[in-house]
Structure 1
Amino acid sequence: MAEQRATIPGRVFAVMKEEARASSNLIKSIISIYGNRIEALFDSRATHSFISKECVDRLKLELKELPIIIKVTTPSGLSSNTSRACQRVEIVFEDRVSVIDLICIFIKGIDVIVGTDWLTANNATLNYARKLVSLPMSLTRTTSTEQLRFLSVVQAKKLINQGYNAYIVVCTASSVYDNGI
C-alpha cells in the first residue's frame, strides 16, 4: 500500500512570463543565488516561494522530497501537485544574506517567485507604484564583507526618492556635575 502524505494548498499568481507582464501586482528584481544573478518576481499573493525546474538544473541545486504534497493553484484555476523543493537556499537581496525554501514547480520564462513566506520573514515592503521591494534599514549588515556605513544627506535623499522609508533618530546626552556647593 502506498504511503499517504498530507496535501496542503499553495497559491501563485503567475506561472508564465506573459501572465507576469500583464499584472501590476508583481515586482521584478534581481536576487543572487550562490553568486548567480537571477531574475525574480516578488508576489505578495503567493503562499510560498517557488523555483523553476530549469533554474534548479542550471544552478545545479539539490532537490529534496518533501513529507507533504503541495497543491499549487493559479487565479485561472490551473493546479498542479508538487512534493520537491530546494531547502535553505542562500540568497542575497539588497546586500543582505538570507535563506529561502523554494518549491519546484513548472514555471515558463520565470526563474524564481518570492512569496509571502520570505517577504514576511524578512519584513519586506512592496511598493507597487514604484515597482520596488525594500527591506528595513539596519545598522548591522548581514553580509560578512560589509562594515557599518553612514549615509550622506545626498545619499539619503536618493534612497527616499527611490521609495525607501526614512526615519530620523535624534539622541542627546547631557551630564550634570555636582560641585558640592
Structure 2
Amino acid sequence: MVKDCPKNKEAASPTVPPRPKERAFQMTLEAGKDASDVASGTFLVNGLPANILFDSGENYSFISHKFGGRLALTIDKLDNALVAEVASGKFLCVSGCIKNIITDLIGNKFHKELLPIELNNFDIILGMDWLSANDVEIL
C-alpha cells in the first residue's frame, strides 16, 4: 500500500556532492612538459609502455581505465570511496583500486596500487602518495 511506503523527504532538495578531497587534473602531454611541478615520460608498467605523469599536485595516484584493462588485473573494492574532481569540473566517484602494478623506471621497480579513473592524455598519474613513499623530488 502507498501509505506503507516511506516518504523520501530529501527528494525535493537537490543533492550536492561533498567537496572532493582529491583533484585529478588532466593536463595534456605538452602542458606536462612545460609545468615546473610535474614530470612525464614513457616507462614500462607490468611490461607495457605507459605515458606517466609524475605530479606533486596530486594526493593520490591514478591509472586510466583503458590502460588498466590492458593489464588484465582485477579491480578491488576500496573500503571508502573517493570523490575526485577532474579538470572539467566533473565529479567522479572512485570505488576501486588495481593492485600488483609494477612500474619500471630504468631498471628500478616500484610496486603500487592505483585508482582507476577516466584519463585522456596519460596512462598513469603518480601523485604525492607515490612520490613521498619513494622519496622522489621533481626538479
Place the TM-score, normalised by the shorter chain, in its bin.
0.7 to 0.9
What is the Cα deviation at residue 30 of structure 1? 2.2
The AA in structure 2 aligned to 1:66 is L
Counterpart for residue 70 of structure 1:
82
Pairwise CA distance, 1:58 = 1.6
Decide which of 47, 52, 57 is 1:40's aligned counterpart: 52
CA–CA distance in structure 2, aligned partners of residues 21 and 78 of structure 1: 22
- Match of 2:135? 123
TM-score (norm 2): 0.74
State the AA in 2 paired with 1:123: D
Match of 1:22 in 2: 31
The range that moved more, 48-57 or 71-80, is: 71-80
SS at 2:130's partner residue? Answer: helix
Aligned positions, number: 118
Structure 1 52/96 Cα, relative in aligned 2: closer, same or farther at 3 Å? same
* Structure index of larger Rg: 1
Would the alpha carbon gap of residues 108 and 75 (structure 1) be closer, same or farther in structure 2, given more than 3 Å must change? closer
**TM-score of the pair, normalised by structure 1:** 0.58
Say which of 77, 82, 86 aligns to 2:98: 86
SS at match of 2:67: helix
Q: Of the two structures, which has the highest relative contact order with CA contacts closer than 8 Å and spacing of 6 or more?
A: 2
Cα shift at 1:95: 1.7
Which 5+ residue runs of structure 2 have no aligned equivalent? 1-18
In the alignment, structure 1 segments of 5+ residues that lack a partner are 1-6, 128-181
